Copies of this chain bind each other. A is one copy, B any other.
Amino acid sequence: MAKVTIIEVAKHAGVSKSTVSRVIRGEYSSVNPVTRDRVMQAINELGYEKNAIAGSLRTNETKMIMLIIPDIVNAFWPEVARGVQDALEINGYTMVLSCSDWERSKEQRLLMQARNGLFDGIIINPASISEKELLDCKIPSVILGYHEFFPEIDMVGNDTARGTELVLNHLYELGHRKIGFICGVSMRSTSNRRINSYMEFMKKKDIEIERDYILQCHYGQENGYDAMKQLMTLQEPPTAVYAGNDILAIGALKAAKELGISIPGSCSLAGMDDIYSSSVTSPTLTTVAKEKYKVGWQAAVFLLDRIRSKEGFIPRKILFPPTLVKRESTGNI
């Protein structure tokens, strides 16, 4: 009943605990095959199981990585998490998933745990912490998503600016010039960048920017709904609307239906993220697919890399190019 330790195994096999330890850790090269077998047998007979905690105390590594995301319920993150997990797993690491809920206090509490030596690394989509706070953890880390304020840290995300451009260009090519923009506002800088992308595109195409066409709101379906109603009741409503994410677009679609506006007949509509739901509405939504799994995977790869070769890299940044998913909600003017 009392749990069996390496020492008892050693006694039972008639060797020293050092030898048992070597066998456990798979350091076969330096232990005689026949004693190895004897030890193995002792392990099986006694039902020995290694105490990972004790090992970690000595080696200073836990083979566990903490992944901090704002919210698992949000459809985007689970797939990223899967990428992280799969990449870690084949390298013998375990993923620990936690949510910050965009709350500073939770985020800090989680980081604190990491500092306590429980994790060998952190992959985080930062909600409110600063680069300094992260660096202070003295633990290898990788940033998820585009964040301009973390110059020193590895980063992997999606090139949303490029995504915006893809959508706008698609609408432009369909003949649209009056393009509304329902822009989600997040805690960090992402959404302003999107507005910039929009502005730039318009400038590049020599389209005058109509302030009323740009609406900022939170990322909820009802916000998309409200925004769409607002856009459609302008004296001169846009002929196409780009919503900052699919949830907003779904809300917008609902508004259009209520107003009797045919999509894409009277107005084209496009979203971003390519969540599953956007493929089951009627009409199905044109949107931009971001890399999710791949982002998670790459983040894990970067992190493991850092963990293994401690020093002196320059920070690496990867933004994956998103792809346009053309569906039914966009059409010629």
Interface residues of A (CB under 8 A from B): 49-54, 56-57, 62, 64, 72-73, 75, 78-79, 81-82, 85, 94-99, 112-113, 115-118, 250, 253-254, 257, 276-277, 280-282
Can you give 15 A-B contacts (C-beta < 8 A)? A51-B57, A51-B117, A52-B116, A53-B56, A53-B62, A53-B117, A54-B57, A54-B117, A64-B96, A72-B78, A73-B78, A85-B98, A96-B96, A250-B280, A280-B281
* Chain B: CB-nearest residue to A109: B89
> How far apart are A180's CB and chain B's nearest CB, in angstroms?
21
B81:A118 contact, CB within 8 angstroms: no
* Chain B: CB-nearest residue to A106: B89
B94:A97 contact, CB within 8 angstroms: no
B98:A98 contact, CB within 8 angstroms: no
**Majority SS of interface residues in chain A?**
helix
> How far apart are A208's CB and chain B's nearest CB, in angstroms?
34
Number of this chain's copies in the complex: 2
Cβ–Cβ < 8 Å partners of A253 in chain B: 280
A122→B61 CA distance, assembly (Å): 22
Contact of A72 among B81, B112, B117, B281 (CB under 8 A): B81
Contact of A96 among B97, B116, B254 (CB under 8 A): B97
A112→B280 CA distance, assembly (Å): 41
B75:A75 contact, CB within 8 angstroms: yes
Cβ–Cβ < 8 Å partners of A72 in chain B: 72, 78, 81-82, 97
Contact of A113 among B52, B116, B250, B280 (CB under 8 A): B52
Please list the 4 inter-chain residue pairs (A to B) with the smallest Cβ-Cβ separation, ordered nearest first.
Answer: A52-B116, A97-B97, A72-B78, A277-B277
* Chain B: CB-nearest residue to A85: B99
> How far apart are A157's CB and chain B's nearest CB, in angstroms?
19
Cβ–Cβ < 8 Å partners of A62 in chain B: 53
* Chain B: CB-nearest residue to A118: B52
Cβ–Cβ < 8 Å partners of A85 in chain B: 98-99
> How far apart are A166's CB and chain B's nearest CB, in angstroms?
23
Cβ–Cβ < 8 Å partners of A75 in chain B: 75, 276
Decide yes or no: A51 and B116 within 8 Å by CB, A73-B82, A96-B94 being known contacts.
Answer: yes
Cβ–Cβ < 8 Å partners of A117 in chain B: 51-54
B99:A82 contact, CB within 8 angstroms: yes
* Chain B: CB-nearest residue to A112: B49
Cβ–Cβ < 8 Å partners of A113 in chain B: 52, 94
B53:A57 contact, CB within 8 angstroms: yes
* Chain B: CB-nearest residue to A278: B280
Cβ–Cβ < 8 Å partners of A98 in chain B: 85, 94-95
> How far apart are A273's CB and chain B's nearest CB, in angstroms?
13
A277→B277 CA distance, assembly (Å): 5
> How far apart are A252's CB and chain B's nearest CB, in angstroms?
12
Contact of A276 among B49, B52, B115, B277 (CB under 8 A): B277
